[in-house]
Structure 1
């Protein structure tokens, strides 16, 4: 019995998440988009009524914290941050896009967001 408990203990302790972060957005249509970059503690401005569908985009201040298209289209933006011109600090996952897509901003999943100090 001790041997079984010991084996279970070592199996449990040895499990890890070596595959990196687990995507939570943009996994529809069996496309299974990969996370291509992790953004941490970037500052930016919310832009309202963008892309022709009334969605909000994140416009990062720094080019080295942005994606190929420059702005982020967040899949999980909380309603309290859907204010045009509000300054935020955010972290999240930048997803790959495909050449055949017509998108106006880089696909992005927010992992943390807060109002920036004014």
Structure 2
């Protein structure tokens, strides 16, 4: 009986979630967008009042940490980071865009953000 309990315990503990990241944004209607890229520990600058609707965008410093349009439109930006020109370090998911959409920046979900060391 002890052996069965130990086997069950180790099977339960050793299970992992290898399904990859779970999207939290941009899953409206029937447009379940795929995550196309995962950004980790990128630095950038917050740009205020962009896209004609007062939104804030993330402007990454490195081109290899950006998407096709160059800037990110975060779906879940915390209000404390809505400061034009503030430098941040961030991680998150870059989502696919569809050809029929008119977007000013790449769709992005923040998984981690903090102020950059000045």
What is the TM-score normalised by the length of structure 2? 0.90
Q: Deviations over 1:49-108 (max 9, x none)?
A: 111111100000110000000000001100000001111111111111111111110000
Gaps of at least 5 residues in structure 2 are none
- SS of residue matched to 2:9: helix
Structure 1: segments with no counterpart, 5+ residues? none
Q: C-alpha distance in 1, partners of 2:63/2:16? A: 33
Aligned length: 118
TM-score (norm: length of structure 1): 0.90
Indicate the SS of the match to 1:98: coil
Sort the Cα spacing of 1:117 and 1:15 in 2 relative to 1 into closer, same or farther, 3 A.
same
Shift of 1:3: 6.8
Deviations 1:20-68 (A, max 9, x none): 1111111111211111111111111100011111110000011000000
RMSD of aligned C-alpha atoms? 1.5
Looking at structure 2, the residues matched to 17 and 56 of structure 1 have their Cα atoms a distance apart, in angstroms, of: 33
**Structure 1 equivalent of residue 71 of structure 2:** 71
